[in-house]
Amino acid sequence: MEIKEKFGQKVKELREQKSFSIEQLANISNVDRNYISDIEKGKRNVSIEIMEKIICALETDFTTFFNDNNFKK
């Protein structure tokens, strides 16, 4: 699995844990909802700035977000 797919899965998992719709996450993060949908599907290479917006909107931080066995080889 590619890193962009792993990132997208984690975004979706955390979004659903928060009971956010894609639209709600888009509004909170100020990232287009179609872009977030594509991220969750593993179709987008995400810039560090967009990562920061999404991770902050999900009320976590980079360390916590990436401290997951899915990101370890």
Picking from 30, 37, 21, the residue whose alpha carbon sits closest to that of residue 53 is 30
pLDDT at 69 over 80: no
Q: Where are the domains of the chain?
A: 3-66
pLDDT at 36 over 90: yes
Hey, which CATH number is domain 3-66, 3.30.590.10, 1.10.10.10, 1.10.260.40, 3.80.10.10? Answer: 1.10.260.40
Q: How many CB atoms lie within 10 A of CB 53?
A: 18
The pLDDT tens digits for 2-24 are 999 999 999 999 999 999 999 99
Measured distance CA(59)–CA(73) in Å, rounded? 26
Per-residue confidence (pLDDT) for residue 73, from 0 to 100: 64
User: What pTM does this model have?
Assistant: 0.92
User: What does the block give as tokens for 30?
Assistant: 């100020």
